[in-house]
Amino acid sequence: MENEGNGNCSIFGMGIEGSEMNCFFNTNSMDQKDLFESALSSIVSSPSNSHHAVQFPCVGVGGGGESIVLRELIGRLGSICNSSEINGNNSSNNSCYNTPLNSPPKVVNMSITGHHQFPVDPSRFSTFGGKNELSHVIESGKLSRVSSNQSFKKMNKLSMELDESSVSETETGTGNGIGVKGQSNNANGRKRKVVAKGKGKETNAKDDKVVTEVEKEESDAKRSKSNEEKKSNEKSTEPPKDYIHVRARRGQATDSHSLAERVRREKISERMKFLQDLVPGCNKVTGKAVMLDEIINYVQSLQRQVEFLSMKLATVNPRMDASMEALLSKDMFQPQVSMPNIANPFDTSAQSFPYGFQSQLNGMVPDRPENQFSMNPLMAAMHRNSVIKPPHIDGFIEASTLWENDLQSVVKMALGQDQSQGFLGQMKVEL
């Protein structure tokens, strides 16, 4: 797997070559051999050029699918180790090891560039925990690879962020000084030990725990590198927050603040849905912003309509006084459905208050012009009416059907006469 330019691979940051991986594998975690073995086998089966060492993809350690990368790495390592080119690998390994040390900044770009800088410093290996012997590394490489693979996998999954790398680090054992650890450490802010790991194998900067373990054996030299790698890993791990973020989300969900936020958001979305039904033409629109735009437009258009209609009404009906009164009285009667004088189509409930109401209205209106709005005699009358005869409310509904006709008749009558007092008398005439 070439380093797909996956920032994630930053863990290895330095293009951890497969050989480098070997170093990592040289860890204490032999217990995970099984897992790693399986992984390793899979990796081995994967296309493995012995040259991977140089090209180990940044082992996606830093990013999603890094586990795969890791596996590949491991596989390659395995293949490399298995091959008799140990020596060559060693050198490459060495180089790998060196690379991270030499080029810490590469972490970001996992492209396995490390290889070109392998000063092959066997001594370096030793720093890993005293197990510098390549052979040793190689031997355990397989196992360790598996373990590291697993750890890497874990790391990838757990923490694209540096934090996770700790696992890998632990896996890799102290000796691996895998940059991963360093990275994770750094990620966690524990820059101390990562050094050894700094090889550029910044497996997802895992937790400190791993780091701590590694730390013990890591040399400070690596630290810096690992730190840097870590940082790069961090960067690389950040983007691919695929599965790692579950944590964050979960954390958010449990937070009381976020819960309240969520509730609030749900309420708002519920209201938005209701508004969608109200505002015509909003069914296809999705998204709060667009919906809000539509709502604003609709409200504006409605208000403009009111204004326009009021102007029209003002022009169409210059004589609003009498007509309005007439209309009012007429309308008043409507709910009661009792307009004996008027050919009221609704004679539902013969509630004839027309005269009384009208006089009331007329009397009230002129008497207290200022209190019109507050008094609302019409409403009072209606209320009274309704109180007296609740069934009248049904009249409303019935009236609604004949609303237009009735209104028309009312208006006609109203327009026909000029005085409100004589309204009733003339209503008959009009109709």
Partner 1 sequence: MSPQPSSTNPNSLKIQLAYQFLHNLNNLNSKRSNLATTHIRQRSNRVKIAAYASMAYVVGSRRAWSRAILRTIRNRRMLARNKRVDHKITHRPRSAKRRNPKRDYVDPNGNSGQEVKLRKLVPGVEKMDACGLLDETADYIKYLKTQVEVMKNLVDLYSTI
Cβ closer to partner 1: 243 or 403?
403
H/E stretch holding 118: none
Say how far apart CA 178 and CA 107 lie, in whole Å.
12
Pair of tokens at residue 30: 């032999």
- DSSP letter for each residue of 35-79: HHHHHHHHHHHS---TTHHHH---TTTTSTTHHHHHHHHHHHHHH
| Residues between 290 and 349 that touch partner 1 (CB under 8 A) | 292-293, 295-296, 298-300, 302-307, 309-321, 324-325, 327-328, 331-332, 334-335
Report the chain's C-alpha Rg in angstroms. 42
Q: Is 254 in the site for partner 1 (CB under 8 A)?
A: no
Least Cβ distance, residue 366 to partner 1 (angstroms): 7
Q: Is 408 in the site for partner 1 (CB under 8 A)?
A: yes
Least Cβ distance, residue 362 to partner 1 (angstroms): 10
| Residues between 352 and 391 that touch partner 1 (CB under 8 A) | 365-366, 369-370, 372-374, 376-379, 382-383, 385-387, 390
From candidates 254, 278, 283, 284, binder to partner 1 by CB under 8 A: 278
Least Cβ distance, residue 79 to partner 1 (angstroms): 56
| Residues between 386 and 405 that touch partner 1 (CB under 8 A) | 386-387, 390, 393, 396-397, 399-401, 403-404
Conformational region of residue 103, where left means phi above 0, alpha means psi within -120 to 50, and beta covers everything else:
beta
From candidates 30, 272, 285, 431, binder to partner 1 by CB under 8 A: 272
Using the 8-state DSSP alphabet, how is residue 8 labeled? Answer: G
Say how far apart CA 353 and CA 40 lie, in whole Å.
97
Pair of tokens at residue 411: 């208006």
Least Cβ distance, residue 245 to partner 1 (angstroms): 24
Interface size with partner 1, residues (CB under 8 A)? 74
CA 390 centroid distance within chain: 53
Q: Is 283 in the site for partner 1 (CB under 8 A)?
A: no
From candidates 45, 264, 286, 425, binder to partner 1 by CB under 8 A: 264
Say how far apart CA 166 and CA 370 lie, in whole Å.
80
Least Cβ distance, residue 409 to partner 1 (angstroms): 10
φ, ψ for residue 80 (rounded to 5)? -65, -45
Q: How many Cα atoms occupy the beta-carbon half-sphere of 403 within 13 Å? A: 4
Least Cβ distance, residue 258 to partner 1 (angstroms): 17
Task: Name beta bridge partners: 178.
Answer: 198
Q: Is 275 in the site for partner 1 (CB under 8 A)?
A: yes
| Residues between 193 and 222 that touch partner 1 (CB under 8 A) | none
Least Cβ distance, residue 6 to partner 1 (angstroms): 35
